[in-house]
Structure formats: C-alpha cells, structure tokens
Chain A
Amino acid sequence: MMKPVNQAQISFPSYSVNEGFGRAAVAAFLAQLDPTVADLADMRTAVSEAVTNAIVHGYRDKKGTVYISAKIFEDGKAVVRVRDKGCGIPDVKQAMEPLFTTGGEERAGLGFAVMQSFCDSVRVTSTVGRGTSVTLTKHFEPKE
C-alpha cells in the first residue's frame, strides 16, 4: 500500500447547509494535484452526493457528524472517504441501483450512479445501526 503524500480530515454536523462546505473543502485540498477544471468538478460533484447521502439518509432520524478524509498519492490518485455514524444501509447493492431512493419524490435516486460515473471507483461499506462509509477514488491527470 502506497503512503499518501498529503492528507486532510474534516468533520462537521449533519446540517444541510454544510453540504457546500464539505465539497468545497475537498476541492480546495485536491487543487494541489493541479487537476483540470472538469476533473475537479467531477470529484466535487461526487463528494456532494456522498455528503448529501450521509445527511439525508444516514442521519435521517437524528443529527450527527459527517467525517471526510482526503488523501492524495504521488501518482495523482485521490481517495476521499465520506463516513457517517447514522442508520446504515440494509442492502447496499439495492441502494446503489440507479433510481432507487428512499428520499421522497424530489430525490432523483441518482446519487450512487453519479458517484460511479464521475469517479474511477466507489466502494461502500455499511452496517445497520452503525453507519456508512463511501470511498471515492479518482486519478487526476496533470494539466497539459
């Protein structure tokens, strides 16, 4: 396992107003990889989806803390983990299907589809009653 060349941790209460802070903080940290505008926008979007899931689904019944860790590696890879200690997902496979949502009619049910489409890989681990962890990996090609 390669060691990260830099890493950052942030945490904040699960208020929806913090969604913007979470994705902006990660994007600011990843800026040192000198990413293209499009690549950084993709990661910002994926992080927004993961943070929103933690707030809307993980902490649907109670407020809690959203934890984000971001790591960057020498080869330009970024790994961002978004974690909550909320209700957990009973069936991760089903939750990751496009259009599956428990969030009501104004939720598109596209969160995981967007993460998968905008990142290289998405890994989800979840335990009911304990929480969910979403790990987003994306390789950033240096700008031309």
Chain B
Amino acid sequence: MSVQLSYKEGVLTAKLTGEIDHHSAREMREAIDDTAQKLKPYCLRLDFMEVPFMDSSGVGLILGRVRLCNFWRGRVVLCGLSPNLNKMVELAGISSVAAIERRAG
C-alpha cells in the first residue's frame, strides 16, 4: 500500500511511500480523501519521508488536500521532505498554504 493512515487526537497522518507522479497520485489521493472526509481531522499530516521522487503531480496532491481540509477548517502539515522534494514545494509556493516541518537531522 502506498499510503498508510493513522489517526490520533484529531491528527490524521498519511505516510506516503514511493514515487509520486500523475499515475500514483490518484491512488494516494483516493486513499487519503476516503478517510479524511469521514474523520474531518483538524490537522492532516502528510509524511514524505519514504518518497524518493515527486513531480508537480505531488503539488496538485498537496493543494487538493489543503482545499479539502478547508471545508472543515482543518490544516495541512508536510514533513519528511528531502531536498529534491523541498525544491518542488518551494517553487510552487506551498509554504503559504501548508505548514512545513523540517526534516530532523
């Protein structure tokens, strides 16, 4: 499974695994939205630690989840971004709509 979901005290964490492109993003999106719409978490945490590659489809994935969580005033937090992924996230200006936790170490 490319998305592992866990929920604790209003925080839904989606641990993404594998390359994110137009092909894989759809499956990830469906997996996240299914659960997020039921739980309406105040915080959706997207964990990219196990994502070695992401193109602009990943930006679409993030922005789409920000839009979804806006419906119940939830927020999106990104964590585990590698330098490559961070470059994409910065280019897209995502830090204005989602919080970014720096990778430890």
Contacts and interface: CB of A to CB of B under 8 A. Distances in A.
A28 interface: no
B23 A17 contact: yes
B12 to A, nearest CB: 19
Contacts of A20: 19, 21, 23-24
B88 A114 contact: yes
Contact of B55 (A17, A38, A49, A105): A49
A125 to B, nearest CB: 22
B90 to A, nearest CB: 10
A45 interface: yes
Q: Is the interface of B mostly helix, strand, loop or mixed?
A: helix
B61 A19 contact: no
Contacts of B22: 16, 19, 52, 55-56
Contact of B61 (A38, A41, A52, A106): A106
A60 to B, nearest CB: 12
Range, interface on chain B: 20 to 34
B57 interface: yes
Contacts of B46: none
B17 interface: no
Contacts of B88: 45, 114
Given A16-B23, A19-B21, A38-B83, A110 B56 contact: yes
14 contacts: A16-B22, A19-B21, A19-B23, A23-B21, A23-B53, A38-B84, A45-B55, A52-B21, A52-B55, A52-B57, A106-B26, A107-B57, A110-B92, A114-B55
Interface of A: 16-17, 19-20, 23, 38, 41, 44-45, 48-49, 52, 55-56, 105-108, 110-111, 113-114, 117
